[in-house]
Amino acid sequence: AGAGPPLPEPRVAPAGEAERAQVARVLGFAPPVPKEVVTSPTALADFRRCPRQYWYRHVVGLPERGTGGVRATRLGTAAHGVLEAVDLAAAPDGEIARLVAARPEALALRPSELDALAADLRAATAALRGEVAAGLAIVGREVPFVLALPAGAPRVFLHGRLDLLARRGRAHVVRDYKYARPTPASVEGYAPQLGAYQLAVEAAGAAAVEAELVFLRGGPVVRRLPPLDARREEAALVDAGVALGQALASGAVDAFPRRPEVPAACERLGCGYVRRCWGLASLTRTASGRPSGSAAS
């Protein structure tokens, strides 16, 4: 059989107005701003402190410099797990070491780190037993909650867990454990998320709620936070949650502005993205006035 007629050469026709409109519609699509925002107190505290930090940490997922990285996260996770599981009424010192060794994080930690962690947790449990003997009543550990704000017509939903919920006299006590050392910068950095914890306990019917940070590394140190202005904190959380929803709907880095005005302020907060945000030249210009250390987070 002979060859058929030659096929015509393909030609690309220029796009018409209809095709251009379809492409523009796809490329210019912007998701609507959500009517409700669901997040955690920790993530929302990051956004309130610095939207750009939130973008790097929660949207892009970039690792941080100089904050301990994955190892610090593993130590903190192990510490929380042991403090949730340990029998405070009867656990001997050897039980702490056994619980530490049984944690999955232990497979990726050095023996020296595990020994130090066990020693710190023995000190923490001993101190807590002493407080219980003196009248502190433990209500629960790792208590889950959902806080809907504002009440009645919620737009922001915060979910999380309370490391420790207790009663001291007529007041409830919310405690948040941090496997870090206490510094003014670490207290400043960690304190904002506890406002949501206090509001959640108040929403459940508590008449008075106190908040405390417990720093575990090197021995337990308790830092009681100032009394909370509940109405002001609720309004601030709602405003921040709505702003977060708008920023996430945009998706652009410009929707997450850099908040501190100078890199030294970022370093005092222990942010691990200072070099990425400000660049080496900015850090060099401010090095002479920079603090000697930064807090672990």
The two structure tokens encoding residue 248: 């996430």
User: Angle of helix 69-85 relative to helix 93-102, nearest 10 degrees?
Assistant: 130
- Which pLDDT score is estimated for 294? 27
- Which pLDDT score is estimated for 292? 28
Helix (H, G, I), strand (E, B) or coil at 256: coil
pLDDT tens-digit map of 104-135: 999 999 999 999 999 999 999 999 999 999 99
Helix (H, G, I), strand (E, B) or coil at 164: strand
Among 183-187, 233-237, 285-289, which stretch is predicted with the lowest mean pLDDT?
285-289
Counting the structural domains of the chain, the total is: 1
Report yes or no on 22 lying in a domain. no
pLDDT tens-digit map of 279-289: 854 444 443 33
Report yes or no on 165 lying in a domain. yes
Report yes or no on 266 lying in a domain. no
Res 248 pLDDT > 90: yes
Report yes or no on 272 lying in a domain. no
195 - beta bridge partners? none
Report yes or no on 88 lying in a domain. yes
pLDDT tens-digit map of 57-89: 999 999 887 655 688 889 999 999 999 999 988
Domain that holds residue 63: 40-250
Report yes or no on 170 lying in a domain. yes
Helix (H, G, I), strand (E, B) or coil at 174: strand
Q: How far apart are CA 27 and CA 12, in angstroms?
A: 22
Report yes or no on 73 lying in a domain. yes
Q: Which of 45, 41, 65 is nearest to 189 (CA)?
A: 45
- Domain at 151, CATH number: 3.90.320.10
Q: Which of 87, 113, 92 is nearest to 101 (CA)?
A: 113
Report yes or no on 136 lying in a domain. yes
